[in-house]
Structure 1
């Protein structure tokens, strides 16, 4: 017997929601596979490989779960069972509430999340750039692509291992306000000839206009 009234409407709503879930699940799984196959870019954003691959597994799990939920929902809609549709609609609402709650939490903790990302980027700038080839190449691509320089600005490079290869500590100040420091070529918006002088800055002096200042 065909569904009518509210149940017919519920069937259409469930179908639309499941198309959304299937799409999101597929995108997350593709993202997880890409992160697994080519981890170079994303590894520059985390402190260690264990944390990185934990995130990959989590994304893969969520993507798989959404795909399963989507397929089950489509099956319930096709079967046109009133009981199955009601139960499944309740399940979708529960998942939706969980997602909204997560979004609200992320919005409420936005400043902390931004600080965490900034701290991670600053760690890459100060202790890993120039010493880890993969992260160096990735960070160069990020700076060129997003037209930025450092975590907070070009001055971040003054106390980095890129300028002080023997230094193990982070954020060490340079010894003199007149001392110069190097800035990576990926921070420069001009051609190599124009950038040759701009890539050497003085701690107390202005940064060349050829150097990206936005973060």
Structure 2
């Protein structure tokens, strides 16, 4: 009686874990499909490659969950063995991704800084999605420029933002920053603050903080919950693998197709 109850408990735990895996895998597959179809999250070869790798992991996880559920319900040793292999493969991929991210954290941070700077210099004002994203970052995080407001001096948008004044009383050379850099919502005050002398890296009425450190800080804060969820998912993987192996060893081998 005790062994039967233990077997039933292991089966229930395996089913519960794999229902969660199935939901996660199917959800990630749907997200990857949408992102590849939408195109905005897959700009460039690196973006598409990352999404495809994420989608492949989700497919393996989904197939492993389906095999584990079917194997647990039917008591099939072959299905449980297939589930063990697929879940082990997805767990190894998760662990490898976590190790790679931790080992390349400085490179990832530098890549983010370069991506922000490229968007500021070449895409702001030309691509609506990038323009809205940078404005949201500068307003929400109360910052201006990637490293300082002076970054806008080299931006393609800033060179076409103002009108050239050739009068005798023309002011000294200046550059423009977006309204999202302003600390005030008053249009008149913001219009005055947005015109920055060429030798200055900012001024009164503008956010003084650079955006890159604040974006990195915000991402570190936002990443805590996903990282904790990833750690829980990896721990569940380990438990599911042990349960699948135990049930596989107890299950009767499939002999229906033997002559």
Shift of 1:116: 0.9
Answer whether contact 1:76 1:84 (CA < 8 A) is retained. Answer: yes
Candidates 177, 180, 199, aligned match of 1:183: 177
How far 1:136 moved relative to its partner? Answer: 2.4
Alignment pair present for 1:140 and 2:138: no
Structure index of larger Rg:
2
SS of the equivalent of 2:21 reads helix
Unaligned runs of 5+ in 2: 161-171, 212-259
**Looking at both structures, which has the greater relative contact order when contacts are Cα pairs under 8 Å and sequence separation is at least 6?**
2
**Structure 1 length as normaliser, TM-score?**
0.72
Residues 25, 63 of structure 1: 8 Å contact kept = yes
Decide which of 142, 155, 159 is 2:154's aligned counterpart: 159
> Within 5 Å, which residues of 2 pair with 1:115-130?
115-130=110-125
| Corresponding residue number in structure 2 for 1:108 | 103
**Distance in 2, Cα, partners of 1:154 & 1:185:** 12
Q: 5-14 or 18-27: which moved more?
A: 5-14
TM-fit CA distance, 1:204 = 2.8
The two structures, once aligned, show a CA RMSD in angstroms of 3.2
Alpha-carbon distance, 1:209 to partner: 5.0
Task: Map 1:77-96 to 2 at 5 A.
Answer: 77-82=72-77, 84-85=79-80, 88-89=83-84, 91-96=86-91
Shift of 1:119: 0.7
Structure 2 residue aligned with 1:31: 31
CA distance in 1, matches of 2:54, 2:120: 27
**CA offset digits 1:137-163 (Å, max 9, x no partner):** 343344334544332232211222122
> Across the two proteins, how many residue pairs are aligned to each other?
197
Q: Distance in 1 between matches of 2:139 and 2:177?
A: 13
TM-score by length of 2: 0.61
Aligned-pair CA distance for 1:22: 1.7
State the partner residue of 1:213: 209
| 1:185–1:199 Cα contact (<8 Å) kept | yes
Change (3 A) 1:33 1:207: farther
Shift in alpha-carbon separation, 1:53–1:205, aligned structure 2, 3 A: closer
Shift of 1:107: 0.8
Aligned equivalents of 1:14, 1:65: Cα separation in 2: 17
1:64 & 1:145 partners in 2: Cα distance?
A: 36
Q: Please identify, of 197-206 and 100-109, the stretch whose mean Cα deviation from structure 2 is larger.
A: 197-206
Q: Residues 22 and 164 (structure 1 numbering): CA distance in 2 closer, same or farther, change over 3 Å? A: same
Residue 195 in 1 paired to residue 164 in 2? Answer: no
- SS of alignment partner, residue 162 of structure 1: helix
Q: How far apart are residue 104 of structure 1 and its match?
A: 1.3
Question: Quick check: which one's helix share is greater?
Answer: 2
Indicate if the aligned counterparts of 1:28 and 1:62 stay in contact, CA closer than 8 A. no
